[in-house]
Amino acid sequence: MNMEAKTEYKVDTLKVKYAGFFNFGEIIAFIKKWLQDEYYMVVEQKHKYKPKKQEVEFMGFRKLNEYVKYTIEVAITADEVKEVELVKEGKKLNTQEGKLFITLNGAMDLDWQKRFKGQKLLTFLQDFYHKYIIKQKIEEEWLDPFEKKVMQLRDDVKENFLEGE
């Protein structure tokens, strides 16, 4: 019998697919700033640039308190990229055209310091604590607002950078 308490809650993966004009660097900078403005520490994991394909992956971590930590993973891929010059409001803009894919994954980690790990009694107490004492707090105060923030990030990117999406 598995006595381990549930300590990780995943948010549904959010995906954005877009074909058209975009500025890859501005989107990355926007998402990183958004995360920092929400008190996330940002760590870049992958950065690949080829003439027609660009990929970036990074994570944002936020320790909400001594028990709860949020993680948002961001993967951005631009495919079939062409450098183009647009004229917008009388100004020339250097931008890209192609296909853009953005994936956002979120996870809430309870007991991120692993204080309850290892002993059967502590694991039992943690399971009881989660199911009966702080169940409502987990769902309503921590998980729901976090899910809404991840959706807000996706919506902010679409609204600010992806015309017609």
**90 confidence band (pLDDT: 50, 70, 90):** confident
> Span 69-80, mean pLDDT?
96
Q: Give the containing element (helix H, strand E) for 123.
A: helix 120-128
**Tens digit of pLDDT for each residue in 102-141?**
999 999 999 999 988 888 899 899 999 999 999 999 999 9
Look up the domain containing 53 and give its range.
8-161
pLDDT at 3 over 70: no
Residue 2 lies in a domain: no
Q: What is the mean pLDDT of the chain?
A: 91
Residue 24 lies in a domain: yes
Residue 30 lies in a domain: yes
pLDDT at position 164, please? 58
pLDDT at 4 over 80: no
Residue 77 lies in a domain: yes
| Tokens of residue 44, six digits | 């870049």
Residue 106 phi, psi (nearest 5): -120, 150
> Span 50-54, mean pLDDT?
90
Least confidently predicted of 2-6, 112-116, 118-122, 154-158:
2-6
Residue 114 lies in a domain: yes
Residue 113 lies in a domain: yes
Residue 3 lies in a domain: no
> Span 158-163, mean pLDDT?
84
> Span 55-78, mean pLDDT?
96
> Span 51-64, mean pLDDT?
94
First to last CA, the chain: 48
Structural domains counted in the chain:
1
Which residue, among 86, 84, 108, 78, has the nearest Cα to 9 in the 3D structure? 108
Residue 110 lies in a domain: yes
